[in-house]
Amino acid sequence: MLDRATENHLRTALVTSAGGFLRNPVRRPRTTCAVCTTPIDDRYSFCYVCKRHRLHKGTADIVAPMIYAVPQQQSGYVMRGYKARPPVGAHLRLVTMLTLFTLSRHGACAGTGAGIGLTHWAAVPSLPAKPGEHPLHRIVRGSAPGTEVRLAAAPRTSDPRALDAAHFTADARLPRGSHVLLLDDTWTSGGHAQSAALSLREAGASTISVLVVARWIKPEFGNNAKFLDGLPDFDPDICPWTGDACPR
């Protein structure tokens, strides 16, 4: 947890530097997917991929993206640039500010909403496994709540986006009643995060809340462009778990 002065400093910096091009994900029944917040047809509650994932027992209890990221727009450049080699400095700073602010201001909201406090955290590694520390892990270590559960990625896979618990392995068994905050940087189809969730279930996790930096959205798909154009500027005070005020 950051002290309130540091939180407020980050909040001001986010609004000043990125409030004009970042957008909060929308949680609205029959408008966005109840899992990943992507726009959907108003006849449904879930997007096609999340509906299929829900057929598998053990996926995450809740998913909360911090922002939408759009390819060929500044938000998309930021999510690619922060983990480029070498990283784009301004992009890395923005993702760091956004992630640390959200963890401090809204991280505990996952426990409030679930009725059970966070006990552990884990970060989704690259798949297949890559050498070195993942950029998101470097940002959150020391700031994420609870005890870390290390996830190791499989060295190879035929389909990295498929839902498969074997894609990741937890380094420890989790006690009964554990609530894991699973952190990921980008949700495209959700295969990485949900596979990691399945692995954590096998390790004993009772509750899994996924906090994602960005939900990747393609404007050319369906009515996404119109949906994105109608969104207001980014507001750091909006809780990613509720899409509104923080839960009490």
Exposed / middle / buried, residue 42 (Cβ in 10 Å: 0-12, 13-18, 19+):
exposed
Question: 231 pLDDT band (50/70/90 cuts)?
Answer: very high
The full set of domains in the chain, from first to last, is 4-229 (3.40.50)
3-state secondary structure labels for all residues of 63-91: EEEEEEECCCCHHHHHHHHCCCCCCCHHH
CA angle, 233 then 19 then 122, to 5°:
105
Q: pLDDT by residue (tens digit) across 126-149?
A: 999 999 999 999 999 999 999 999
Q: Three-state DSSP class for 183? A: strand
Per the prediction, the chain carries an average pLDDT of: 97
Q: Look up the pTM and report it.
A: 0.97
Instruction: Quote the pLDDT of residue 1.
Output: 82
pLDDT at 196 over 90: yes
Quote the CA–CA distance of 204 and 139 in Å, as a whole number. 26
Can you tell me the mean pLDDT for 210-216?
A: 98
Residue 248: the pLDDT is 83
Confidence category of residue 157, pLDDT binned at 50, 70, 90: very high
Question: Which of left, alpha, beta for 213 (phi over 0: left; psi -120 to 50: alpha)?
Answer: alpha
- Rounded distance between C-alpha atoms, residue 113 and residue 246, angstroms: 9
Which pLDDT belongs to residue 183? 98
The dihedral sign for the CA sequence 148, 10, 227, 26: positive
pLDDT one-digit tens code per residue, 53-99: 999 999 999 999 999 999 999 999 999 999 999 999 999 999 999 99
Region 15-22: mean pLDDT is 97
According to DSSP, residue 243 is labeled T
